[in-house]
Amino acid sequence: MNIVKKMSLSLLAILLLLPILSAPGTGTAEAAASASSSSKTKTVIGVSVATLWKTPGITRKLDAPSLTAPVDMVAWTAAMNTTEKRRWLTGKTETQALYGREVKIVQTKGSWSQVVVTDQSTSKSRYGYPGWLPTVQLKSVPASEWSRTSGKEAVVSAKTSTLYKADGKSKLLDLSFGTRLPVTSEKGQWIEVRTPQHGIARLRAEDVKIAVVGKAETQPTGAQLVETGKMFLGLPYLWAGTSAYGFDCSGFTGAVYSYYGILLPRDASEQALAGKAVTKADLQPGDLMFFAHNNGKGKVHHVAMYIGDGKMMHSPKAGKTVEIIPISAAGYANEFAGARRYLNE
């Protein structure tokens, strides 16, 4: 075989390998997420609250309850019983995703998978918020049963609600506020829902509200947003938290709005770009206030909800809890960077 033929065959081999080299698991998050979007199955979170990490393998021994399936959020958060233990998470965890939420797998390494959370918008990826979690916390479901385009869904309105087997007696797991599951039937004091791995299960009707999928939910009033947020007063701050077991600042505001079907960007710096700008003098309950470094002129690093009467409610930082303080409080008044409104007037 002459050298020209050898070079031609080598070039052909390289061209044939290119699609494989760019397949999910070796390419970018964009390519991998896009490739999985047309599948007959969907990947969803199979634990009550999944914590997404910046990279695999950086967890501590005390984080074990958050890495299993099922998780034990009560034990995990209780183990972080000092400010230092909670502050350690800063920059190491990315976000959280609730039971049944759809994700797209980007790649898998060992027992971990990198995913994007599809309902958490971010400039980091057009497919959703990225992070790593133990693969055991993921479940595959038929796309036809998890379409999110029709039917009804139960939205947990209590801080937490127990999911029971179909008999209504055997406990499966506890779900966080804001968890959404497809409704299969409504039976008096029980709402039957479809789950990722337990078939049909039950939630107490008093713990949920029913939303029609694909139909805009009734817009809340500012007062309703405030009252919903007040449910979590005293809840310890949790970096990357989006559940009733602990929120970060934007996780708190995002969860309150999401309960009413209004999806905000995941991070405070991007929530500050959504909605409509309002002046400090025109603040109304439910509006969000943003705070930035360099006396309000730098990068936005914090968000709070205005509740009226010159006060705001927020989840401030490790070592603190969801609280209400004056908007004139030291450390905040000088860093005010603007406010946004997300409700139609």
For the chain, which domains are there?
A: 29-143 (2.30.30.40), 152-212 (2.30.30.40), 222-341 (3.90.1720.10)
Tokens of 113: 């998978």
Tokens of 135: 């693969």
Catalytic residue among 198, 293, 301, 302: 302
Residue 304, exposed/middle/buried by CB under 10 A (0-12, 13-18, 19+)? buried
pLDDT in tens, 31-51: 555 555 558 999 999 999 999
Active site residue 301: no
pLDDT band for 22, please (50, 70, 90 cuts). Answer: very low
Average pLDDT over residues 254-272: 98
Tokens of 40: 């007959």
pLDDT in tens, 56-69: 999 999 999 999 99
**pLDDT score of 4:** 38
pLDDT band for 177, please (50, 70, 90 cuts). Answer: very high
Contact 287, 294 (CB under 8 A): no
Left if phi > 0, otherwise alpha if psi is -120 to 50, otherwise beta: which for 14? Answer: alpha
Active site residue 249: yes
Active site residue 293: no
Average pLDDT, the chain: 91
Catalytic residue among 198, 249, 293, 301: 249
Report percent pLDDT > 70 for the chain: 89
CA dist 46 → 2, 72, 170, 198 (Å)? 58, 13, 18, 10
Contact 128, 45 (CB under 8 A): no
**pLDDT score of 38:** 54
Contact 260, 222 (CB under 8 A): no
Spatial strand order in the sheet of 300-308: 276-278, 336-341, 288-292, 300-308, 311-314, 323-326
